[in-house]
Amino acid sequence: MTSPIRIETGSDPELAVVTINHPPLNLYDREMHAALAETVTALERDRPRGALFRAEGKVVSGGVDVRDSFLPIAQNGDVDAGTAYFAELVELGERVHRLPFPTVFAAHGLTLTWAFELALACDLIVAGESASFGLIEATVGLTPAMGGTQRLAQRCGQGRAKYFVMTAGRFGAAEMERWGAVDRMVPDDELDGTARELARSLAAGPTVAHAATKEILATLAADGLDTANARTGEIAGKLFGTEDLRGAMDSFVERGHGKATFRGA
């Protein structure tokens, strides 16, 4: 059986391209759940220097296959099973969020529920101009459970996160870019190329420094400004022991700004 998620490197082994392909609507079901867990494990193990998440088809995802994922738990009123399943979802989102390299998500068409939560767990979101987003779990009496509510609030404030989640609406790329939930909006026909080029450029850059940036921001989110400030010296100071920094400094002195080559070491 073909997995609903595949990882490819192609001609650029530094960049992992993660493609969701589970037609017709890339719905989240038990098969997708297992595939996402396997994908995250592979990324943690193989440590590419960057990853691009994208999807095949007319939409990134139409949401969750309720019959497969939630209905049996709901019919049985099984609180323990629901709690355990949501704990797995939260862990998956957190593992993506903490990958020690840059991650980019390319959004087109509909990007609903789990897919938007996965996007929010990535570092940067690029959207086609006709893309739309929704966390519509409230329509079946649920709330998002992969960390999307929290991460949306971090990006654009609690008020907008509440409005987005509680109304279960669908919001276009332009509005999401204004909110700060989407980092860049591009014409639909430029989405794939733009997202790939952004991911490639980040993967070819100072990825150890990028990982330090992510760690500082994660500390800010978890423990506040004072703790992030207190830990910045320790986190950033380690970069002076990297080959990338030494090589970039030598390159700057010898050839000027912007000509360094980075190895991620």
Q: Cite the active site residues.
A: 117, 137
Give the integer Cα–Cα distance in Å for 38 and 79.
26
* Angle in degrees, CA 192, 37, 34, rounded to 5: 100
Phi-psi region of 77 (alpha: psi -120 to 50; beta: other; left: phi over 0): left
Place of tokens 């070491």: 265
Give residues with Cβ within 8 angstroms of 3, minimum separation 6.
35, 38
Is residue 136 packed enough to be buried (19+ CB in 10 Å), middle (13-18) or exposed (0-12)? Answer: buried
Give residues with Cβ within 8 angstroms of 7, minimum separation 6.
16, 17, 18, 19, 39, 42, 43
Q: Pairing between strand 132-134 and 5-8?
A: unpaired
Q: Which of 137, 140, 159, 139 is nearest to 148 (CA)?
A: 137
Give the integer Cα–Cα distance in Å for 91 and 44.
13
Q: Pairing between strand 5-8 and 15-20?
A: antiparallel
